[in-house]
Structure 1
């Protein structure tokens, strides 16, 4: 009797377990259904209507063949004598272009240049430009209003000579590499070297006389003469000065971003720099190192923002900062 009872209990347990297992394999009525992923439509790039060009963009249209169809431009005053401009247009190849321009009135003796280093340290490293500006503000001789990327990077260090606050951090023997800087005892911004030592003989740079010095890749213009030519579009940056040495110009071209900005060739960058007033100009470097950082006027105590766009922004080994003492 006892053995029959135990068998009955075991049989009942097996039956209940089997029923539970079968029941657990059923498809739940409340189980969610997964269909094909829904592709989100990209945001439409709406350019507000703008029928009036600023004088600087009008000058590019009038003095070059590059700007075919004007789309828009906007301006912003960063500080008295420091203006920022963003423009979009269709170029002669019928592709979209986006550029950023800054004009600095360097006839103001309190507006000058200083070299920037990653983390405000005298070491070879890389850092995104807005963060670099923020670190270097701690020891700047005034308010850093804007900056662009500096020299090209070779194994984590600048390619050309580099001087910050009189300390020589890197030397190069090149007499044709372009440089921008200031000498000791002066705040006047100057360009150094020439693109051709025979055609344009210049004195060698005496680094002992230099307070700040940052190198570049190419001269675009030298004393009004054309220098660099290239037909390949890329994100690019340029800095130039007018003949009277009273205005300094910065230009950053966005790229290469489909349906937004195809990038700019060196010869077109050169022509636009001349059109806005440059007599001598250079390209520090190009591609993903391209960066133009401007003081955020809505948060001027602690924030600087990148104005330009590249596909994958990269850190730079040094920077060219512009400071108001």
Structure 2
């Protein structure tokens, strides 16, 4: 009996050694020291020999575009044209931008301030969904939209109702913010000023505005470019207005993806808006919230209309915002 026990113990030890040895000999375990080579996604760019007029203007008046890649323009409606431009900048980085040109003199298109869920609460919503909720009371069809403020600490005016304006930093000269507003007569206005001796502060009455959204950084003020020492390059949403207030531009530059679009710096936004002859222009917001959407008809009977994201934010549909600007096709033109 004792011999059997000893023999069993010996066999068990041999078996364990064999199993251990066989494990040591396996070669199908990954080596965590090995570096994994990541292949950049293929981004085919078709040959484009025809340059759109707005792209040519940017190329002729700035040094932003080192190498032109492609562009395309689509007329969304009378008075509303969207141009997509892709290029390589002076640092050999790829950039993609969406630019809306709005002809405010046509009376067919007008800007409207949007809020999350078309309400007055401090909640956020993706811009595509925001356009859907705001369209019924917009006075027409929202054909395109861009993001405005992200933070709930920033104020806005919606349908004449002032939301958080007492803490918005738009009432005092010392803490100025650029803002885009729509007067109650429908005319657009970009207000506040750069707090320097070169520009004088312009007084205004918040009660004259039916809608307002504030931004972050001036890039053009009363015909002058506003430059900065900031070298941050990121996704950006900006707007500009001509001196006669007949032409408005809405710009969304994608960022954060070096294989597609690295983004843009504030001084380059100033150069671009200057090339477009904007009198006043500023950045609404930057980063993951920067997004542009366009109204699109679908074949889905349960969801026949969507506001398709035409820019390429890092998160699908772009991060949610507190407010936005919609570009509305007037339901009827009153003579």
How would you bin the TM-score normalised by the shorter chain?
0.7 to 0.9
Residue 197 of structure 1 deviates from its aligned partner by: 6.2
Query: Distance in 1 between the 2:80 and 2:207 partners?
Result: 31
TM-score (norm 1): 0.82
1:252 aligns with 2:252: yes
Aligned to 1:221: 220
Post-superposition CA distance 1:164-210 (Å, at most 9, x none) = 111111203344211111111x1111111111264322433312211
- Tell me what 2:157 maps to: 163
Q: What residue number does 1:119 align with?
A: 117
Whole-Å separation in 2 of the counterparts to 1:135 and 1:205: 30
In structure 1, the partner of 2:74 is 76
- Structure whose alpha-carbon radius of gyration is higher: 1
Residue 263 of structure 1 is matched in structure 2 by 263
CA contact under 8 A between 1:78 and 1:297: conserved in structure 2?
Answer: no
- Pairs within 5 Å for 1:314-325: 314-325=319-330
Give distance in 2, aligned partners of 1:74 and 1:198: 42
Q: What SS does structure 2 have at the residue aligned with 1:288?
A: helix
SS of 2:105 mapped into structure 1: coil
Q: How many residues align?
A: 286
Q: Structure 1 unaligned segments of length 5 or more: list them.
A: 1-33
Are 2:29 and 1:46 equivalent residues in the alignment?
Answer: no
Paired residues of 2:147 and 2:291 also in contact (CA < 8 A): yes
Partner Cα separation in structure 1 for residue 202 and residue 269 of structure 2: 27
**Cα deviations across residues 126-161 of structure 1 (Å, max 9, x unaligned)?**
1110001101112211111221111241xxx142x3
Contact 1:137 1:143 (C-alpha < 8 Å) held by counterparts: yes
Would you say the 8 A contact 1:96–1:260 is kept in 2? yes
1:283 Cα offset (Å): 0.4
* Residue 296 of structure 1: how far off its partner (Å): 1.8
Distance 1:316 1:284 in 2: 11
Q: Once structures 1 and 2 are overlaid, which stretch shifts more, 82-91 or 204-213?
A: 204-213
CA root-mean-square deviation: 2.3
Once the two structures are TM-superposed, the CA of residue 43 in structure 1 deviates from its matched residue by 4.6
Measure, in 1, the Cα distance between the counterparts of 2:67 and 2:202.
44
Contact kept in structure 1, 2:80 and 2:109, CA below 8 Å: no
The runs of 5 or more residues in structure 2 that have no matched partner are 1-27, 31-36, 331-335
